[in-house]
Amino acid sequence: MSDLPDIESLQNNFSDLNDGNDKVAYLIELGAKLPFFPAELQDDAHIVRGCASRIWMDHAWENGRLHLQLTGDALIVKGLLTILFVAYRDKTPSEILERDPKTILQQLGLAHELSANRQNGFSAVARQIQSVAQFQTKGFHP
């Protein structure tokens, strides 16, 4: 995971790219850096609903911080998942709930570059992450 940029570096990297094709190429590059997701967790229990692509998520809380695993079945989607991974990994529930996914896309300059389906999928995964953070604040562990 050391080769993953932090969210501020992602913002700088995307701001250096003026062309939509370059941004898509960078998303694909980011997707290749998404940490390993076990094949045995790619099942119905871990699938994220509300996405056009198939996306799987697993999580655990370690010392009050989110340990997150994500994967998807498409290259660009994996890039978007990498952004969410970077934005939310190792965060506390309150930090997760404070970070708006639409703002993330705007800060990265991707809000106008992505199709509605990809934006909806990005938001669906972010909502799932925020949902587990909300449950954690209430003492539940979905």
At residue 81, the 3 state secondary structure works out as helix
Q: Is 69 strand, coil or helix?
A: strand
Both tokens of 116, joined, read 């509605």
Q: Which amino acid is at 10?
A: L
Q: Which of 30, 51, 66, 83 is catalytic?
A: 51
User: For residue 124, what are the contacts with CB-CB under 8 A and spacing of at least 6?
Assistant: 48, 49, 50, 51, 55
β-partners of residue 70 are 57
Is residue 92 annotated as a catalytic residue, yes or no? no
Catalytic residues: 51
